[in-house]
Structure 1
Amino acid sequence: MKTKHIRAYMKTAHAFAECSTAVRLNVGAIVVKDNRIISIGYNGMPSGWDNNCEMEIDQALKSKPEVLHAETNAIAKLARSPESGQGASMFITHSPCLDCAKLIYQSGITEVYYETEYRDSAGVDFLRKCEVGIHHLP
């Protein structure tokens, strides 16, 4: 994939992250196949729910357990479309957690691009074991 396209797709993932109503962290994800964006996602509450993503616990904001990660939302939208994730690439503003990494692998996505590291590397480690291409962008 051309460098200018990689940059443009990552900018697009960041643009969708801005759609998130979360206070703590805004994450965006897009799925690209054959130079076309085939799905998008950002972290938030399930469709139709109140968009308040956090709750206060011990004077700190914590994500509600119902919050969907950007990758999960993008893959769920992809599953409801006529498109397939087989051989696609995912661009994420942050590296995936382990649960999202498992969904990425199972959906057939073969390349993952991200900028910011998640708090642990289990998701990236899992994808590497599955031979999914991992690209950490500066």
Structure 2
Amino acid sequence: MTFHRPDWDSYFMMIAAVAATRGTCLRRKVGAVIVKDLQIISTGYNGAPKGLPHCSEVGCLREKLGIPSGERHEICRGSHAEINAIAQAAAVGTSTEGAVLYCTHEPCSFCTKAIINAGIHRIVFVFGYPDPLAAQMRQEAKLEVCQLSEEVFQEMDGALKAFLDQ
């Protein structure tokens, strides 16, 4: 099998996908990677705050109440991948000013506010998320936004197979 070296966007998105596998949200696995000068400065995934029980352990209140996806985030015990990645950078004193966020899913409006305040200037994602306010805020903040094709994950599968076939 011929090895295909991924471009930078694909490479960092593949790492975001691996981060998503750590997620403890029962509804959606999301991973995020913050990159500055082509160096990873932090990662994040959906899950409860540090030291608290995960949704996978105590259940999902939104699920129990039958709340549709994208609604009532305020009653969710989990933090989104983007927020966790920003918090991880802050916890070790690393600035995210001018960084790029790679996230498996398009950020919601809550995360978009944090992304803007963190000084992140570019967002790369694969799966869209219907949040008109988030899109409007990104446009107003003049954030660069790039949506990659789902084929990036097929490339990852091919790259892993090529690696294993060495």
Which residue of 2 is the match for residue 82 of structure 1?
93
Amino acid at match of 1:128: Q
Distance apart, 1:88 and its partner CA: 0.4
The residue that corresponds to 2:53 in the other structure is: 50
**Distance of 1:59 and 1:5 partners within structure 2:** 37
State the Cα distance separating 1:6 from its structure 2 match.
Answer: 0.6
The 4+ residue runs of structure 1 with deviation greater than 4 A are: 58-64
Q: 1:87, CA displacement in angstroms?
A: 0.8
Deviation at 1:58, TM superposition (A): 4.6
Give 1:10 shift.
0.3
Which of residues 10, 14, 36 in structure 2 aligns to 1:11?
14
What is the DSSP-based 3-state SS (H/G/I as helix, E as strand, rest coil) of the residue aligned with 2:77? coil
Q: Percent identity?
A: 32
Alpha-carbon separation, structure 2, partners of 1:60 and 1:118: 13
Separation of aligned partners in 1, 2:53 and 2:13: 28
User: Is 62-71 or 45-54 further displaced after alignment?
Assistant: 62-71
Q: State the distance in 1 between where 2:16 and 2:81 align.
A: 10
- TM value normalised by structure 2: 0.75
What does residue 118 of structure 1 align with? 129
Which structure exhibits the higher relative contact order, with contacts defined as CA atoms closer than 8 Å and separated by 6 or more residues? 2
What do the CA deviations read for 1:73-110 (whole angstroms, capped 9, x no partner)? 01111111232111100000111111110110110100
In terms of fraction of residues, the more helix-rich structure is 2
Amino acid at match of 2:131: D
- Normalised by the length of structure 1, the TM-score is 0.89
CA 1:23/1:65 → structure 2, altered by over 3 Å: closer, same or farther? closer
Once residues 134 and 122 of structure 1 are traced to their aligned partners in structure 2, the CA distance between those partners, rounded to angstroms, is 15
Larger radius of gyration: 2
Q: 1:33 aligns with which of 31, 36, 40?
A: 36
Structure 2: distance between partners of 1:41 and 1:124? 21
Structure number having the greater strand percentage: 1
Shift of 1:23: 1.9
Distance change >3 Å, CA 19–CA 128, structure 1 → 2: same
Distance 1:58 1:120 in 2: 20
Instruction: Choose 54-63 or 6-15, whichever is displaced more.
Output: 54-63
Q: Distance in 2 between matches of 1:83 and 1:58?
A: 39
Q: Secondary structure at the match of 1:75?
A: helix
Q: What are the superposed Cα offsets for residues 4-45 of structure 1, whole Å, 9 maximum, x if unpaired?
A: 111010010010001002221001111000111001110111
* Cα distance in 1 for residues equivalent to 2:89 and 2:135: 21
Number of aligned positions between the proteins: 136
Q: Which amino acid aligns with 1:103?
A: A
